[in-house]
């Protein structure tokens, strides 16, 4: 039986970044810098993308934002994680105290950091860096029933849009925290990309072989229970997490405002997949920052035809990989804006140019 239709959801309009005239001017500018053609490799493509996003021949990176969405998952009750669910609220506390890896990197790189309670299974005390947008105290167990109701899923999407609409800057990075969220990400990837649950599912927080086999069995049961949830919003409600849904809404809003979106690892990648499924042009604004050590992430990037900037064997989440890639965006902007051309430097170009 197919899942019921959801009430209409208004999604923000997103313009593709394609602009043939501007692209030609940017390529000409990049090609005539004082270097051999293509010598800055992937940095040249990144500069081109950022220029097209910002609709100009120079790049200005202003007030970068880091938003970490935190939520719990009912499927954690099935023993799919090496850590207890209590770690979610404990790690949120660590982030608000400034002690997590994402705090270190946000301070290092000058990102304003906010943590969003999208659905942590505990009541959190007020904090200046905490945005309380809790949908519920964790999703339901998707092995038994849909993780979210249609109303909850839509509320999460809208909350993500609203959060971004109130933030300054033109660059935004997204991270997450939530025990068992690699399970939700694997389920969404398998359903929306049509890959097997065995290929989509990895070790998460460090499962051994027996635990990984159990996780895959649980997720196969979930896929069978929700076999009718094939459309993006149906799949998001049946299989996803509050933080993934809220991040997808945030990505949609960011793209609609022509912000560069820094995509972290597997969980953020699953949100990016949902986002692209709802609005294909949104991927134009996404910078895929790294390839994580989670098995499904490598396949997800291949499915999206995305080339990540880094491959450091990370599997932490929180948005850490996105911030580690930040200096590459700064370098892309710097060479486009400041590097001399052959003409201005009085340097001879190629004889066959």
Distances in whole angstroms, Cα of residue 2 to Cα of each of 151, 185, 197, 229, 299: 18, 22, 21, 7, 28
Q: What is the largest CA-CA distance in the chain?
A: 70
- What's the number of CA atoms in the CB half-sphere (13 Å) around residue 41? 5
What order of strands is seen across the sheet that includes strand 65-71?
A: 130-132, 112-119, 65-71, 171-177, 260-263, 286-288
Distances in whole angstroms, Cα of residue 72 to Cα of each of 117, 173, 175, 185, 244: 10, 21, 14, 13, 11
Give dist(CA 120, CA 132) in Å, integer. 10
* Mutual angle of helices 42-54 and 20-31, in 10-degree steps: 140
Catalytic residue (one of 198, 318, 338, 351): 318
SS percent in the chain: helix, strand, coil, step 5: 50, 10, 40
Give dist(CA 143, CA 43) in Å, integer. 44
Q: Is 243 a catalytic residue?
A: no
Residue 165, token pair as written in the block: 């609409």
Give dist(CA 160, CA 245) in Å, integer. 8
Give dist(CA 160, CA 134) in Å, integer. 11
Q: Which positions are catalytic?
A: 318
């Amino acid at each position: 039986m197919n899942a019921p239709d959801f009430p209409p959801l208004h999604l923000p309009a997103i313009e593709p970044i394609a602009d043939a005239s501007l692209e030609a001017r940017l390529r000409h500018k990049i090609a005539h810098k004082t270097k051999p053609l293509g010598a800055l490799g992937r940095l040249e493509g990144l500069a081109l993308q950022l220029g097209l996003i910002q609709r100009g021949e120079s790049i200005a990176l202003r007030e970068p934002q880091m938003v970490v969405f935190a939520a719990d998952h009912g499927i954690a009750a099935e023993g799919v994680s090496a850590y207890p669910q209590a770690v979610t609220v404990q790690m949120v506390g660590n982030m608000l105290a400034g002690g997590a890896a994402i705090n270190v990197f946000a301070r290092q790189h000058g990102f304003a950091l906010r943590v969003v309670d999208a659905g942590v299974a505990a009541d959190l005390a007020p904090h200046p860096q905490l945005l309380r947008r809790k949908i519920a105290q964790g999703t339901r167990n998707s092995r038994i029933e849909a993780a979210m109701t249609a109303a909850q899923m839509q509320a999460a999407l809208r909350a993500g849009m609203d959060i971004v609409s109130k933030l300054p800057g033109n660059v935004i990075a997204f991270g997450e925290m939530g025990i068992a969220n690699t399970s939700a990400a694997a389920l969404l990837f398998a359903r929306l990309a049509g890959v097997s649950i065995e290929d989509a599912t990895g070790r998460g927080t460090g499962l051994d072989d027996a635990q990984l086999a159990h996780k895959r069995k649980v997720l196969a049961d979930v896929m069978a229970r929700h076999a009718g949830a094939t459309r993006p919003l149906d799949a998001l409600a049946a299989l996803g997490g509050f933080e993934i849904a809220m991040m997808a809404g945030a990505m949609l809003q960011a793209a609609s405002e022509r912000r560069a979106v820094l995509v972290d690892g597997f969980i953020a990648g699953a949100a990016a997949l949902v986002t692209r499924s709802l609005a294909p042009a949104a991927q134009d604004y996404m910078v895929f920052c790294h390839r994580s050590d989670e098995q499904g992430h490598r396949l997800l990037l291949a499915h999206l035809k995305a080339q990540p900037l880094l491959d450091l064997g990370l599997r932490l989440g929180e948005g850490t990989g996105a911030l580690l890639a930040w200096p590459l965006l700064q370098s892309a902007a710097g060479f486009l804006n400041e590097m001399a051309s052959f003409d201005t430097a009085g340097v001879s170009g190629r004889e066959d140019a």
